[in-house]
Amino acid sequence: QVQLKESGGGLVQAGGSLRLSCAASGRTFSSYAMGWFRRAPGKEREFVAAITRFGSNKYYADSVKGRFTISRDNTKNTVAVQMNSLKPEDTAVYYCAARLGQTKTALAEYEHWGQGTQVTVSS
């Protein structure tokens, strides 16, 4: 079992940057592929980015490619997403998620979720 807690959300102007972090409990963090998802107002939760267990491969939604960077530190049990060139359409609640084994981009594949952190991008 792993518990996840996100931090780093807030209000930022368009074009600005934010860094979200997710702290995981437990001693087997490197057993989990990690992902970030978001839910914008009135929309379904969607995939943002994912990273393999040891960080060798990263995956991004087309909408954030080139602007967001996912990373992880297995010594600190953390995963982060650096978000640059933010747009108003990036406004959403951002969730950290974990799944044992292989990395996936479908939210249904993830077993563990954080409670989310709000990101608001003003125009």
Task: Please determine, for residue 1, whether its predicted confidence score (pLDDT) is greater than 90.
Answer: no
Average pLDDT, the chain: 96
Task: Please determine, for residue 36, whether its predicted confidence score (pLDDT) is greater than 90.
Answer: yes
pLDDT, mean of residues 72-86 = 97
pLDDT, mean of residues 47-62 = 97
SS3 state of residue 88: helix
pLDDT attached to residue 93: 98
**What are the angstrom distances between the C-alpha of 70 and each of 41, 42, 77?**
23, 25, 14
Local confidence band at 75 (pLDDT 50, 70, 90 cut-offs): very high
Which residue spans within the chain are E strands per DSSP?
4-7, 10-13, 18-24, 32-39, 45-51, 58-60, 68-73, 78-83, 92-100, 112-113, 117-122
Q: Strand 92-100 relative to strand 32-39: parallel, antiparallel, unpaired?
A: antiparallel
